[in-house]
Amino acid sequence: MERKRLFNTFIITLTSLLILQSCGDIKKKETPMQLQAFNSMQLIKQENDLVGENIVKIKAAKNEYEPFQIAIVATGKLNNVKVEMSDLKGENGSIERENIVLYREEYVPIRHSSPRVVYSQGLYPDPLLPFKSPVTGKPIEALRVTDGQNGNQYAGAKYSAYPIEIFPGQNRVIWIDVFIPKNTPAGIYTGIFKASADGNIYAEIPVELTVWNFTLPDTASHSTHFGHFGRVASMWGIKTDSKKYREIERRFCDELAKHRINPPIPHYLLPEVNDDGSLNIIPERHEKLKKYIEETHLLDFEVPRARFMSSTSNSNLATPADQSDPETIKKTKRYYQDYYNYLKKNGWEKRAYVYLLDEPNSIKDYNQVINLGKVVKQAVPELNCLVVEQTYKHDPSWPDIDPYVDIWCPLFSFIDRKTIQEKINSGDKVWSYTALVQPPPKYHPEYEKVKDKNPPYWHIDRPTIVYRIPLWINKQYGITGLLYWTTVQWREDPFNEPYIGPYPTRYINGGGMLFYPGKDAGFDGPVTSIRLKNLREGLEDYEYFTILEKKGEHEFIKEILDSISPEWWGYTRDPRVLLKARERMALKIIALEDK
């Protein structure tokens, strides 16, 4: 009897073990999907061997965005992958899904390397394809073939977030933007990111958000100028004076504003200019301009350069005669006087500047800065003039343009700490500027020291942190603005040709292009990019410095900056180090708030 009982026990145990093993095998077959979490600065390529986190942990202030990435890693074929993110719930409130936006990262081909790169050619993630149209709020349909009277026709988006199909050994990455509204109570919020695929395949990863008890301002503290959107018209095949262009242009402006970048002011909102230089203030336009400034939280007001005086900067053409014509000068002065008075009447004069000239690279151009700047200063001494030029002379024998420049704007590699500080000490402002991976010039005061060094040049095939770190270095140098010539320098198909050039010996991948056109992505508006998002993160970091500075924490700020961004040529490449420094700043702010 005992022998029989033992035998039955053995059979039951063996059967249980077989069942458990069978269940394990079934589980393995049913879940050929892994989810791994990464911060916003980590580059996740399509076929990387990944080592991410098994939980998302992000931290942010109120009125701040905080992004993260989820890599969907396939250990078997995954078809019809779907993703979703829950609300984030806390003890005293929640962050609803309307404040959480999901994108699929699209890969673009880098066939030719940019200058001074650290990464090889291949596919790089950059465009962020929304799952829902930012215009209509409806899901974006993928490209499909339909029957038409004249044969096959196509409908839907050429580039779309869905469908997602992943082969074994590949990754697809989801970008998640979380916005923390101002009224969110401080504390910890939790939720779940889920992914599923055909065949009952399912995976999830927990998300934990810590909301810090302070609030970022609506209006940015750091100045920016990122160009205009004229190229949008040619991409969409429309005229710049059409209603459709104005609608699309406004969406691009709003998107810049969401990323704490000062958007351009659409020309149809500005006062009309009469032939004698005076302004015609149209009440309807004026009210729309006021509303635009409020809605976009505009920091700086670029006064359009007077159309009466022309320039021939960066060309072999002679200096225009109108720069010395008395009647032209008279009209130009009246224009600036009327404009300044209009701005002052509305309390906008302190944010105003004139973009006087771009990169004066000859003695002729220096003299044009003097000609144009002298008219502005004689008309309105208080009106600031911006010139894209370094803080030292191109040539010692050239004339002095200092009296006519209030905002200097050197290229990243032209930066010189000593002369920048001299300009700041004299009352001028300094912005920084990047374009086309230009190396340090031979007339740089410390050329031999910096000629082979690389500042954080902007292009797709460099570490993503280069789009965030310039705001930290700007703070280190006392630089208060950032200029980029455009965000829409597109070729015919930017998703397939994401570069400008070729120049004689180089391609600039992503140069002048922080947006992609939504025309081929299912909506009339901008497709954002990973690089633009990280630039926004840097601008938000700058607000932490501003808050601390207002509280007198200059030594603490210097300690942080010296550890992360001691100079243009030396800065941390490790995202984790930067995020730890940011957290130190946040905790310092909270401690000061609690006093």
Q: Where are the domains of the chain?
A: 30-215, 223-594
Q: What is the pLDDT of residue 437?
A: 84
Q: Quote the pLDDT of residue 118.
A: 80
Over residues 362-371, the pLDDT tens digits come to: 999 999 999 9
Residue 23: pLDDT above 80? no
Higher pLDDT, 533 or 152: 533
| pLDDT range class, residue 479, cuts 50, 70, 90 | very high
Query: What are the tens digits of pLDDT across the range 185-232?
Result: 999 999 999 999 999 999 999 999 999 999 999 999 999 999 999 899
- Render pLDDT for 305-346 as a digit per residue (tens, 0 to 9): 999 988 888 788 888 888 888 999 999 999 999 999 999 999
- Over residues 504-520, the mean pLDDT reads 87
Residue 17's pLDDT is 41
Q: Which of 492, 343, 361 is nearest to 438 (CA)?
A: 361
Residue 178: what pLDDT?
A: 98
In CATH terms, is domain 30-215 a member of 2.60.40.10?
Answer: yes
So what's the pLDDT on residue 67?
98
User: Alpha-carbon distance 346 to 223, whole Å?
Assistant: 20
What pairing do the DSSP bridges indicate for beta strands 100-110 and 171-180?
antiparallel
Q: Name residues whose C-beta falls within 8 Å of residue 162's C-beta, 6 or more positions apart in sequence.
A: 82, 104, 131, 139, 140, 142
Please write the tens of the pLDDT for every residue from 273-309: 999 999 999 999 999 999 999 999 999 999 999 999 8
The three-state DSSP-derived secondary structure of 464-500 is HHHHCHHHHHHHHHCCCEEECCCCECCCCCCCCCCEE
Q: Is the pLDDT of residue 37 over 50?
A: yes
* Average per-residue pLDDT for the chain: 91
CATH number, domain 223-594: 3.20.20
| pLDDT tens digits along 418-454 | 999 999 999 999 999 998 888 899 999 999 999 889 9
Pair 394, 373: CB distance under 8 Å: no
Q: If pLDDT is split at 50, 70 and 90, which confidence band does 2 have?
A: very low
